[in-house]
Amino acid sequence: MKMRFAVIIFGVAFLLQGTVLNLFSINGATPNLVLCLVIIFSFLYEDSNGLTLGVVFGLLIDTCMSQYVGVSAFCYLIVSLIVINLRETINKENLASVIIVSVGSTLIFNFIYFIIYACFGSTYSLLYWLKLQPIYIIYNSAVVFILYLIFIKKVVKYRNDRYLIWKKY
């Protein structure tokens, strides 16, 4: 995908994540659209748009909505690198593999985020973090599922086999 379209998609996700999605929160948990886009772009596309835009928009999210700058960007970077390494061994066209990558990426992102904030003296406990993980997993997996159905059509090109042999029985 071209970089300018990816920037527009990430920009819209950033705006929605900071404004509209707070209306749909359950116990304070909302889907992380930028994380979902990082997962999809890193998993489906061979270029490094997911990695680059994840770090850039992670810094933007930290600047606008967070206490410390760089935590989200670092977490997006780690998740993107893990997904890029996984895409070589996992089938892109299998929906179950995308959901598994989504669940793992959500857990890794939130765990690293929690650990960094715990080192800086966060007041949230591990039990509170664990209580919210099923909600984050369900939200992010649903968003990744929808994004996968949209973007897989642009990635996988089915070739027309003009040498198909018709057998008459």
Is it the case that residue 164 has pLDDT exceeding 70? no
| Residue 162 structure tokens | 């003009």
C-alpha 145/C-alpha 124 separation (Å) is 30
C-alpha 34/C-alpha 36 separation (Å) is 5
* Alpha helix segments (H runs only) across the chain: 3-18, 33-44, 49-65, 71-86, 95-119, 126-155
Report the pLDDT averaged over residues 85-100. Answer: 89
The pLDDT value recorded for residue 22 is 86
| DSSP helix/strand/coil, 88 | coil
| Residue 124 structure tokens | 């949230």
Report the pLDDT averaged over residues 121-132. Answer: 89
Is it the case that residue 35 has pLDDT exceeding 90? yes
Buried b (16+ CB within 10 A) or exposed e, 94-133: eeebbbebbbbbbeebbebbbebbeeeeeeeeeeebeebb
In degrees, to the nearest 5, what angle opens at C-alpha 160 toward C-alphas 156 and 95? Answer: 30
Is it the case that residue 139 has pLDDT exceeding 60? yes
Is it the case that residue 62 has pLDDT exceeding 80? yes
Higher pLDDT, 28 or 35: 35
The pLDDT value recorded for residue 71 is 95
Confidence of residue 155 (pLDDT cuts 50, 70, 90): low
The pLDDT value recorded for residue 167 is 47
C-alpha 15/C-alpha 105 separation (Å) is 22
The pLDDT value recorded for residue 28 is 83
The pLDDT value recorded for residue 160 is 54
Tens digit of pLDDT for each residue in 6-17? Answer: 999 999 999 999
The pLDDT value recorded for residue 18 is 86
> Of 26-30, 92-96, 131-135, which one has max mean pLDDT?
131-135
Report the pLDDT averaged over residues 65-93. Answer: 92
Mean pLDDT of the chain: 88
pTM over 0.75: yes
Q: Facing residues of 26 across strands?
A: 29
3-state SS record for 69-86: CCHHHHHHHHHHHHHHHH
